[in-house]
Amino acid sequence: MSFTPDVLLRQLEELSAASTSPARYVVAFSGGLDSAVLLHVLAKSQSVHQVAVIAVHVEHGLHAESDVWADHCKKFAEGLGLEFQELKVEVDRQSGMGLEAAAREARYAALGEFLKPDDWLLSAHHKDDQAETLLLNLMRGSGPAGLAGICAIRPFASGQLVRPLLEISRSSLEEYATQNGLVWLDDPSNADQQFDRNYLRHEILPRLETRWPDAAGRIRRSAALAREATDLLTELAAADREQVGDRPDRLRISELQGLSSSRQRNLLRHVVFSLGMPMPGAVHLQQIQSNLLEAREDAQPLVSWPGVRARRYRGHLYLLPDIVEDSQWPETTVVIGDHVDLPGRLGTLRFVQHAEAGLSDEVIGRGLEVRYRTGGEEFRPAGQGHTRKLKKLLQDEGVVPWMRERLPLLYSGGELVAVADLWIAASAMSAAGTAIEWRNRPSIH
């Protein structure tokens, strides 16, 4: 398909009809050929699409010419009369995922934070990129979702991630750029064939095109069919989740066991993806099925992969984000002001004055400290007649075992006066006092 501005505008209109209308077009602008063409067309046709356009360049700091590239992108965007923003990121070279993947992770994290509600983040991936992605995923042993390649539109951060050029070849984009006198950047690393994508681009795809003309187009059609199959699997998983899940992060094991093994794995992948967590590998799914679903009722097995922990408790399978290790946990944190940020991903404790009930002024006056369980704590909640072991209280409350050591305990003058936002001690309660709110907390039940 040859490329014209009308082709892009029609594609954007079709994608908008299937989604929400964009508040802004935020173009991920590297300065390369593809994003230069995309930005140029959007700028020149703004009177037609009538959507604000902003160019955003992510500076990774990985190349000696990075500042020169950023300056080129700024001048290019401003020459089109567009707003320009540069985002600087730090790439974790020790992440273990490889430099390319780590840079991509940092880039999309920064772009996600930049987006406002209903923004469309436009990426200039084209037909050749789609073919390379499918072949890469094929070599990685990916399933249908991987073989579906790059999705044209999907939710991202507070908006949508949109790739409107997936049916356009790079040669068509280059023809447009040449005809319009565009100047673009060529990243020298794109020629380095130690990177798998570059090897496919320079060695494999040209040979395929020699044998099978429009090989990239054929691969794209296969990706479209795989996408259709993936959509059907997603629909099936969503239906299964309605039957098996009672909330986003947990599934009822008895009903999960009633599904076939393949439907179990399909549902687990769907739930993890829906929660925005790193996807499990085949080994992790097998471990969940064999070690976790089939475990004894009183067992507390754990299956984990980077960023995620799968656990079992009281007939439910939990899929949870990971938290920091024990060795990184502080013993005591002094509360200063009206809130305290908790370690790991535990959220924030806020102290709201002049509430109908809460910690008394006397307790607040003595000062507060946040500690964590060490064992043997005793506690009498307000409204209860006698002191009980905290361990027993947590069991009766149904707090999951792996969070019992993570509950923030509030002490004043050496006395345990509150357990998170669950209970206030009878001796510390006041009819008009300071209430405790635990915001952005992980699931504890």
Give the angle subtended at the CA of 259 by the CAs of 256 and 262, to the nearest 5°.
110
| 387 and 377 Cβ atoms separated by less than 8 Å | no
What gap in Å lies between CA 432 and CA 173, rounded to an integer? Answer: 68
Residue ranges in the chain whose pLDDT is less than 50: 324-327
Give the angle subtended at the CA of 131 by the CAs of 128 and 133, to the nearest 5°.
110
Choose among 249, 372, 398, 374: nearest CA to 309: 249
**Strand spans (E) along 29-133:** 52-59, 83-88, 120-122
- The H-assigned helical ranges of 18-65 are 33-44, 46-49
The helices-and-strands tally (H runs, E runs) of the chain is 17, 23
Site of tokens 């790059």 = 150
Q: Quote the pLDDT of residue 326.
A: 46
Choose among 78, 15, 81, 97: nearest CA to 47: 81
Q: Quote the pLDDT of residue 62.
A: 66
DSSP β-bridge partners for residue 429? 359
Which sequence spans correspond to the domains of the chain?
5-211, 227-321, 329-439
What's the token pair of residue 373? 């369980």
What's the token pair of residue 46? 């703004």
**Pairing mode of beta strands 409-412, 332-334:** unpaired
What gap in Å lies between CA 74 and CA 344, rounded to an integer? Answer: 38
What's the token pair of residue 306? 């980077």
| 114 and 85 Cβ atoms separated by less than 8 Å | yes
Choose among 37, 223, 38: nearest CA to 120: 38
Between the CA of residue 12 and those of 33, 175, 380, what are the distances in Å?
Answer: 20, 21, 61
Predicted model pTM = 0.66
| 311 and 302 Cβ atoms separated by less than 8 Å | yes
What's the token pair of residue 139? 């070599």
421 SS3 class: coil
371 SS3 class: strand
Give the angle subtended at the CA of 415 by the CAs of 414 and 419, to the nearest 5°.
120
In this structure, the dihedral spanned by the alpha carbons of residues 226, 228, 232 and 238, taken in order and rounded to 10 degrees, is 90
What gap in Å lies between CA 118 and CA 276, rounded to an integer? Answer: 18
CATH classification number, 5-211, choose in 3.40.50.620, 1.10.3720.10, 3.30.460.10, 3.20.20.70: 3.40.50.620
What gap in Å lies between CA 208 and CA 199, rounded to an integer? Answer: 13
If 0-12 CB within 10 Å is exposed, 13-18 middle and 19+ buried, where does residue 50 land? exposed
CATH number of 227-321: 1.20.59.20
What's the token pair of residue 320? 């949870």
Site of tokens 């947590």 = 394
Order of strands, sheet of 153-156, starting from the edge strand that comes earlier in the sequence: 83-88, 52-59, 24-28, 120-122, 159-162, 153-156
